[in-house]
Amino acid sequence: MIKSKQFFEEKAAFIRNDLIKVAVTNDCQHIAPSLSCVEILVALYYEVMNYRPDTPLWEERDRLIISKAHGAYGLISILSDIGALPKEQWFNMGTPESKLTGCIERQAEWGIEAGCGALGHGLPIAVGLAYGLYRQKIGSTVFCLLGDGELQEGSNWEALQFAVKHELDNLILIVDRNRLQAMDFIENILDKTPLDIAHRFEGFGLKTYSCDGHDVIKLIEMLKTIQSAKAGVPQVLLAETVKGKGFSCMENVPKFHYRAPNQEELLNAGYEFTSGNR
């Protein structure tokens, strides 16, 4: 039975605040790209995915490959919250006391399925996983969370040709569509036709959906519908999001892809803790 709307909203707020606190305390960057996908990750881990936190290597688990690995703080916070990953590793992320870095590396025993620091690599990994599960007749779903900026990488589209050819309907792509990449808005960097992204996926043979990426209930409904559809091809959900969501000074501001908020910005946003002091 689906949990209450209040549960998901409170969980998303907790994860958002938790990742900001850990990242700022430990002088980590990439906070803004982590904030845009919080609700997506909450929907997956607290409702949609078939996953056992106490058995992260369970063979029949659903897998998440987080290709936008520079925005993975929400994932690590969730894995800590559900007990898959030691809390002290998360609290000390980015310090010598932790194996966790600002850009995730594979820690399968803690639920981190792949290291995807080089953008455009996560989807090919997800395709390979989906194909392997299909060949082994394991009915798990592979989810792949992508940034819309990294779709400029050709390796994504090469992988999709393979996925469509082999009818991998156990593969679901979720695009964190915040329309920003590292240095600027996507349309100012390379892509003059960002609104055509759905047509591109459809042109490659995928079935495409879209929804508000900050509405957890809608995300759950859409992802469950997609997961049960078994459309004979990979499917993609375009989740419309805001980079830096929930932290007003960061929302839709390109410079915060790398830069952490300063003390004045933290105080204005209601955060009184200081960097280096948890």
Which domain covers residue 207, as residue numbers? Answer: 5-268
Q: Is residue 274's pLDDT more than 60?
A: no
pLDDT computed for residue 71 by the predictor: 87
pLDDT at 190: 77
- B/e letters for 100-138, b = 16+ CB within 10 Å, e = fewer, are bebebeebeebbbbbbbeebbbbbbbbbbbbbebbeeee
Q: Say yes or no to pLDDT of 80 above 70.
A: yes
Residue 163 inside a domain? The answer is yes
The answer to the question of residue 278 being in a domain is no
Of 39-48, 135-144, 238-247, 263-272, the poorest mean pLDDT is in 263-272
In a domain, 275, yes or no: no
Question: Is 123 within the bounds of a domain?
Answer: yes
Is residue 273, in this structure, part of any structural domain at all? Answer: no
Please count the structural domains in the chain.
Answer: 1
- 236 within domain boundaries: yes
Neighbours of 185 (CB within 10 A): 16
Q: In degrees, to the nearest 5, what angle opens at C-alpha 67 toward C-alphas 63 and 71?
A: 110
Q: Is residue 111 part of a domain?
A: yes
Amino acid present at 114 = A
Q: Write down the pLDDT at residue 278.
A: 43
Q: 29: domain CATH number?
A: 3.40.50.970
Instruction: Assess whether pLDDT exceeds 60 at residue 98.
Output: yes
Residue 276 lies in a domain: no
pLDDT tens digits along 104-142: 889 999 999 998 877 889 999 999 999 999 999 999 999
Question: How far, in Å, CA of 216 to CA of 44, rounded?
Answer: 9
Portion of the chain with pLDDT greater than 70, in percent:
94
Q: How many CA atoms lie within 13 A of 179 on its CB side?
A: 16
Residue 187's pLDDT is 80
- At 217-244, the pLDDT tens digits run 999 999 999 999 988 999 999 999 998 8
pLDDT of residue 277: 42
pLDDT, average across residues 174-191: 82
- The 3-class secondary structure across the chain, one letter per residue, is CCCCHHHHHHHHHHHHHHHHHHHHHCCCCCHHHHHCCHHHHHHHHHHHCCCCCCCCCCCCCCEEEECCHHHCHHHHHHHHHCCCCCHHHHHCCCCCCCCCCCCCCCEHHHCECCCCCCCCCHHHHHHHHHHHHHHCCCCCCEEEEEECHHHHCHHHHHHHHHHHHCCCCCEEEEEEECCECCCCEHHHHCCCCHHHHHHHHHHCCCEEEEEECCCHHHHHHHHHHHHHHCCCCCEEEEEECCCCCCCCCCCCCHHHHCCCCCHHHHHHCCCCCCCCCC
